[in-house]
Amino acid sequence: MATTLDINGKSVAVNAAPDTPLLWVLRDEVGLTGPKFGCGIGQCGACTVLADGSPIRSCSVPIVSLTGVKIATIESLGGAHPLQQAWVKHDVPQCGYCQSGQLMSAAALLAKTPKPTDADIDAAMDGNICRCGAYQRIRAAIKDVADLGDTAKAAKA
């Protein structure tokens, strides 16, 4: 059964059962490997993507619930995004496994809250686990983008 999804601004027909989690469709059918499998129960954040601008855990959301929803993955940021540049500047990536989910949650935060406080950042990033403990550098990178006024660019995920 074919389902059409809007992924990174493109209409994509996928042949998966309606209850298939989005993560498996993104990785196995569409070939987007940015979102990672971590826990499989939506608790670690490695699989985070945006659905109509809000972060969701793609490992636990069935594709049937995403018809007509604009899905954005880390690939939508394009590599030169202000958040990605700030991540490099602040040496955020260590092992890198959680980074696509971290970046997508950060992009959603800045789209809704252009000048976030530490509390805003902590709340928005809660549930994005970093085994390397780069939380302070993540906060610094987000604040750097907000302070530079690049939040309009950061919101275009």
Residues 106 and 138 both lie in one domain: yes
Q: Which residues does residue 72 pair with via DSSP β-bridges, in sequence order?
A: 50
Residues 27 and 47 both lie in one domain: yes
Contacts of 62 by beta carbon, 8 Å cutoff, 6+ apart: 18, 19, 20, 21, 22
Tokens at 146, concatenated: 């907000």
In this predicted model, what pLDDT tens digit does every residue of 85-137 receive, in sequence order?
Answer: 999 999 998 888 999 999 999 999 999 999 999 999 999 999 999 999 999 99
For the whole model, what pTM was predicted? 0.91
State the pLDDT confidence band at 82, using cuts at 50, 70 and 90.
very high
Residues 49 and 106 both lie in one domain: no
Q: Is 156's pLDDT higher than 70?
A: no
In this predicted model, what pLDDT tens digit does every residue of 33-59 receive, in sequence order?
Answer: 999 999 999 999 999 999 999 999 999
CATH number at residue 45: 3.10.20.30
pLDDT given for residue 118 in this prediction: 95
Number of domains observed in the structure of the chain: 2
Q: Is 157's pLDDT higher than 60?
A: no
Residues 137 and 120 both lie in one domain: yes
State the pLDDT confidence band at 149, using cuts at 50, 70 and 90.
confident
Round to whole Å and give the CA distance between 54 and 64.
Answer: 17
Residues 22 and 47 both lie in one domain: yes
46, 76, 106: which is the final residue of a domain? Answer: 76
In this structure, how many other beta carbons lie within 10 angstroms of the beta carbon of residue 9? 9
15, 49, 76: which is the final residue of a domain? Answer: 76
Selection from 21, 48, 9, 64 nearest residue 129 by Cα: 48
State the pLDDT confidence band at 152, using cuts at 50, 70 and 90.
low
pLDDT given for residue 150 in this prediction: 58
Q: Residue 70: give the domain boundaries.
A: 2-76
Tokens at 50, concatenated: 């945006």
Residues 41 and 82 both lie in one domain: no
18, 53, 76: which is the final residue of a domain? Answer: 76
